[in-house]
Structure 1
Amino acid sequence: MSNLAQVRALSKEGETLGIRMPDRPGWRQLSELLGLGPWPPMDLEMDFDQYVLACVLSRALEEIDAGEASATEATGLSQAELRDILNRSFPAPTIHAFRLEEISDVEPGVEEEALRGLLLAHARAGDSMSVRFAKIIARRALRHDHLWRELGLFDRVELSRLLATHFPTLAAGNTENMRWKKYLYRKLCEAEGFSLCTAPTCRECKELESCFGPEEGESVRAGASRGRT
């Protein structure tokens, strides 16, 4: 595979961002299933939605192999939705790694259902992928780390692009660049007519950095790559 095929070109405000995809465990397994050796199918023509799905699926594979979750538990999608995504976007051998025949659908809890509802209220009309990303984001937001990391993305920029693409009105409301998970939960509070925050304004809050500070930390992919050096 050429060096160009190891680079994912992403557009951000007219600029091109070249992203090299290190060989982390989930990526390695997914790319081997795709028959492409140690590198995932990253080239300049790859669709951004498919790229995000590959990131999420690689995280799911890691959790499946670690015995932490099934494919439906890791993604928030139903067995039928996962099967459709894998059949449409990935070669046939890939589907077997997710053990769909062994698992059942998982009903979302109250918190997850509320997050889904928020995202769906701002989803692009008639776009089935927006619906599926709403389910994926709501499930991964329940994890403890930064949302972009839990989705398997390279950085926060990619998450911002995903939200702006599929939930444009919701993303546009984050005018002060609040951390995305904090922002989603703040919007839930506003919808319910209450706030968990007691500070009169954000700038007067003693925990300002927990909402607006930089989302530090490298991606799981970068960490795995560094661990091999």
Structure 2
Amino acid sequence: MNMLAPPHRQMAGARPLPTAEQIYCAVRAEATNLAAADPFTAHVLGCALTIGLSEALERGDTLSSGLGLDRASLEALTTQWAPGARQFFDLQAEPEKLDLDEEETQLHELLARFKSDTTPLCAWMISIVARRAMSPRHLWQDLGLIERGELTKLMAQWFPALAAANVDNMKWKKFFYRKLCELEGFSLCAAPTCRECGDFDNCFGAEDGASVLARLSQR
């Protein structure tokens, strides 16, 4: 039985929405063989599902809108990696097909160009990273990760050539758009070199801050 009805905005008198911590623990509680064999990937997917579910429950939206995955992908991902996530959303309410805007499509294509393999899991990672990159915070925060180092590890695992190209440890969202410009043969930046740029910290400054999931859990 679902702990919650299909996603909706909490109404007066309704059962309180679960905290991010409660969602994450439930998502990770039932470890599949895949999750047990690859705990880091299970953690990354658990974080993404948690922040996606938290937003969906708060906004009365679908999980697909937060993760960029259609119904079939969500069904396969949760079956293989996180069955506990099913109690928080209605799979049948998720769309069978998603439409991406131009910006997300370009990011999707960039990540696909540098993907580590052709498995469904890698395809899910591409969609999740591209969709979460549309949010306003640092990418590691948008993915629900605990710290930036986890994002660096994710990129090295699933997009190794792209990760290796970020030799100066540029902020990942900035780096994505720089790579898109390079592939198109132009640059939006007028500075001759990064070191001579007056806005250096905007691209290379510290990506500190609190985990979004930690803040959500305190509500």
TM-score interval, smaller chain: 0.7 to 0.9
8 A Cα contact 1:130 1:167, kept in partner: no
8 A Cα contact 2:27 2:50, kept in partner: no
8 A Cα contact 2:53 2:89, kept in partner: yes
The answer for the alignment partner of 1:221 in structure 2 is: 213
Using the TM superposition, give the Cα deviation of residue 203 of structure 1 relative to its aligned residue in structure 2, in angstroms: 1.0
Using the TM superposition, give the Cα deviation of residue 45 of structure 1 relative to its aligned residue in structure 2, in angstroms: 6.4
The answer for the alignment partner of 1:188 in structure 2 is: 180
2:23 counterpart (29, 38, 46): 29
Matched, 1:129 2:121: yes
Mapped partners of 2:28, 2:184: distance in 1: 45
Matched, 1:97 2:91: no
Which stretches in structure 2 are left out of the alignment for 5+ residues? 1-17
Please provide the CA RMSD for this pair. Answer: 2.3
Mapped partners of 2:100, 2:184: distance in 1: 19
8 A Cα contact 2:141 2:212, kept in partner: yes
Count, aligned residues: 197
Deviates more, 1:198-207 or 1:26-35: 26-35
Aligned residue type for 2:136: H
TM-score when scaled to structure 1?
0.79
- What is the CA deviation profile of residues 168-206 of structure 1, one whole-angstrom value per residue up to 9, with x for unaligned ones? 000000000101111011001111111111111111111
More strand by share: 1
Matched, 1:205 2:197: yes
1:85 counterpart (60, 72, 77): 77
Relative contact order, higher structure (CA 8 A, sep 6+): 2
2:45 counterpart (38, 53, 78): 53
Using the TM superposition, give the Cα deviation of residue 157 of structure 1 relative to its aligned residue in structure 2, in angstroms: 0.2
Which secondary structure does the structure 1 equivalent of 2:118 belong to? coil
Mapped partners of 2:21, 2:131: distance in 1: 20
TM-score when scaled to structure 2?
0.82
- What is the CA deviation profile of residues 74-114 of structure 1, one whole-angstrom value per residue up to 9, with x for unaligned ones? 001111000001111223x5314122211313211111111
More helix by share: 2
Question: Cα 1:100–1:115, aligned 2, differ >3 Å: closer, same or farther?
Answer: same
Question: Cα 1:175–1:129, aligned 2, differ >3 Å: closer, same or farther?
Answer: same
Mapped partners of 2:192, 2:28: distance in 1: 53
Q: How does 1:3-14 map to 2 (within 5 A)?
A: none
Aligned residue type for 2:22: R
